[in-house]
Chains A and B, each alone.
Chain A
Amino acid sequence: MRRNHKALHLISRLYMVAVLVFLYAPILVMMVLSFNEGKSRGNFTGFSLKWYGELFQNAEIMQALSNTLIIAVISSLVATVVGTFAAYGISQMNRRSQGLVMNISYLPVINPDIVTGVSLMLLFIFMRMNLGFATMLISHIVFNIPYVILSVMPRIKQMDRHLLEAAMDLGLPPLRAFLKVVLPDIMPGVISGMIMAFTLSIDDFVISFFTTSGVQNLSIYIYSSARRGIEPTVYAIMTLMFVTVVSLLLLINRKSLGRTVAKRTRI
């Protein structure tokens, strides 16, 4: 019986390792190749930071990188403000409307990116807007808002419903009351929502691709350069992107982990 148990344990361990290898081996290969001296995809001829150096000299890449970062910063900030107020507003609705509105805001999350991308593009064209930086920025704000709402909502749900009223009772008008007592209480949700929005914005290719033309972000640059033939500089950008996104995700997890630990110690 006991032995059986051990064997099972071992098998499940091996299974885990296999899954992780399949998931991370490709990325690992790419990362290693980004430090390769030569251009070859087949063999590692020596360690070098050559491609990273080239990366920072390439004006087109630098332009794309700056677009990506500017859009990620602005869209995550705007989406955080809009999404936080929206979440609070939704939480104050009666139960049935609340369910309805939550489902509607959830839709873009489950909607395939390509559908969101194409429909946004059609909307912009229909409204006679020129596709470019602005339309890409608007699209990023739009697809980020639901994620902020979804991340803030649970915090609001566990907050005392009467906090805002208590602050108003003590003399603060509604907006100041919100900033003074509600916001500090839901801050962890707001921050992880913002980080998530930032990551998603950096990450996005499909929606960006359809809602801009001429103006490139990193993912569009990589896509178009891949068609020309992939340079190891691309491995270098992707390695950097991967590291950024993973660290941000770790930050979110640390935050929510920290929260549960804090809660446990409080009890």
Chain B
Amino acid sequence: MSNQDALIEIRDVCKLFTDDGDEKQAVDHISLTIRRHEFVTLLGPSGCGKTTTLRMIAGFETPTSGAIYIDGKDVSAVPPYKRKVNTVFQRYALFPHLNVADNIAFGLTVKKLPKDVIAQKVDAMLRMVGLQGYNKRKVTSLSGGEQQRVAIARALVNEPEVLLLDEPLGALDLKKRKEMQIELKNMQQKLGITFVYVTHDQEEALTMSDTVVVMRGGTIQQVGTPQDIYNEPRNRFVADFIGESNIIDGIMPEDERVVIGDVSLDCVDKGFAPNEPVDVVIRPEDIYIVTQSDKGQFKGTVESVVFKGVHYEMQVRDTAGFLWLIQDTSMFAEGMEVGLIVRPEDIHIMRKSDDPNAAVYREEEAL
């Protein structure tokens, strides 16, 4: 754990909120190491504890148990205003009585830097976020995207070691969002600041991060590079949350072989107990459709076709009754008899026992 590069270490942290006698375990025994200059994204559905984790790093909440180390020092007793961390809040929290320049200059004024230095830094920052000339504008007169940039500038101008961003692009439309994703990533690389980024948008997480942390119900489900997370989801929840997937029950009779229903397939996974029940994950874009249904590993009928721009999305019901989601650039008409083929390396096998929440999903699916 004690890695030279480690900037933030979260060690076995829990956060229990007690509110009017109700108890809520917002964060449940999480441990995580964040390296210097890393872009880490906390990803998960609403209410999974992302904001709470971020607020504990910033110092706005104290862990109920466990400890957080920044630069090797336990920060439990360090108040937010003494941490080398700055935050971009979910709804910006710009100071409405100050203009754009004064908002950005706030942190520098607190540090009592000379006026001309502050003015210079503010101008440089405004240029960087593409708002030159906005100095005297009222923040209440700005659009959502502009406020967003001011909030980022206000935090970045302090040159913090760590920047915490809580769904900073949540208020933007899709196009603006994509632009800002690229800009943020560029800024992070240029300035060499460690980013801890919160989002519930899996695509955003995959495109921007060095490391993705998938969370659920206050726990960490998987930590890895975007490729790892996408290609080797550790359990059913991660597979389901990261992009669309076909998740089917299977059995591993031996290494590199999986049986789904009465179909036996080659795969590349090994190390399972003989005849161990497993979850099999296959991405919709990894399934090939052939018109001669006999040539496929599975046989089925196309039930629906939806045009999605780049590809068509089709649902195919196989002879065993499973409904496959398939993406393909060519269209296969509704009612057509087709065959499905999957390559061994596109089959991902997950141990059911790897999944601490297995019982929970079963319940959710039953609903």
Contacts and interface: CB of A to CB of B under 8 A. Distances in A.
Interface of A: 94-97, 160, 162-163, 165-173, 177, 181, 184-185, 266
A168 B93 contact: no
A129 B154 CA distance: 54
Given A94-B20, A96-B20, A185-B97, A160 B91 contact: yes
Interface string B48-69: 0000000000101000000000
Main secondary structure of the interface of A (DSSP, over half): helix
Contacts of A162: 89-91, 93
B81 A94 contact: no
Contacts of B89: 162, 165-166
B91 A170 contact: no
B253 interface: no
Interface string B82-99: 000111011111111100
B93 A163 contact: yes
Contact of B140 (A97, A163, A184, A266): A266
Nearest to B89: A162
B109 to A, nearest CB: 9
Contacts of A96: 20
Contact of B80 (A94, A163, A169): A169
A165 B87 CA distance: 9
A170 B154 contact: yes
Nearest to B140: A266
Contact of A169 (B20, B58, B90, B94): B58
A185 B92 CA distance: 16
7 contacts: A94-B20, A165-B58, A165-B89, A170-B154, A171-B158, A185-B96, A266-B140
Contacts of B85: 169
A172 B109 CA distance: 10
A95 B60 CA distance: 19
A172 B91 contact: no
Contacts of B20: 94-97
A160 B96 CA distance: 9
Interface string B269-282: 00000000000000
B157 to A, nearest CB: 10
Nearest to A162: B93
Contacts of B92: 160
A240 B200 CA distance: 64
Contacts of A168: 60, 79-81
B97 A184 contact: yes
Interface of B: 19-20, 58, 60, 79-81, 85-87, 89-97, 106-107, 110-111, 140-141, 154-155, 158
B108 to A, nearest CB: 9
A172 B79 CA distance: 10
Contacts of A165: 58, 60, 80, 87, 89, 93
B93 A170 contact: no
B86 A169 contact: yes
Give the top 8 A-B pairs by smallest Cβ distance, nearest first: A170-B107, A162-B93, A166-B93, A171-B110, A184-B97, A168-B80, A168-B81, A96-B20
A171 B81 contact: yes
Contacts of B97: 181, 184-185
A171 B107 contact: yes
A164 to B, nearest CB: 9
B70 to A, nearest CB: 14
A171 to B, nearest CB: 4
Nearest to B141: A266
A217 to B, nearest CB: 38
Given A165-B60, A170-B106, A185-B96, 11 more contacts: A160-B92, A165-B87, A166-B89, A168-B80, A169-B86, A170-B107, A171-B158, A172-B81, A172-B110, A184-B95, A266-B141
A72 B134 CA distance: 45
A167 B85 CA distance: 13
Most chain B beta carbons < 10 A, residue from A97, A166, A177: A166
B87 A166 contact: yes
A94 B19 contact: yes
A115 to B, nearest CB: 32
B261 to A, nearest CB: 52
Contacts of A172: 81, 110
B22 to A, nearest CB: 10
A165 B85 CA distance: 13
A14 B60 CA distance: 60
Contact of A171 (B60, B90, B91, B111): B111
B98 to A, nearest CB: 8
B140 A169 contact: no
B102 to A, nearest CB: 11
B69 to A, nearest CB: 19
A140 B308 CA distance: 70
Contacts of A181: 95, 97
Contact of B110 (A160, A163, A170, A185): A170
Nearest to B95: A181
B106 to A, nearest CB: 5
Contacts of A94: 19-20
Given A162-B89, A165-B93, A181-B95, A173 B19 contact: no
Nearest to A184: B97
A198 B107 CA distance: 37
Nearest to B164: A169
Given A171-B81, A173-B79, A166 B95 contact: yes
B199 to A, nearest CB: 18
Nearest to B158: A170
A97 B20 CA distance: 8
Most chain A beta carbons < 10 A, residue from B87, B90, B91, B155: B87
A168 B93 CA distance: 12
B305 to A, nearest CB: 45
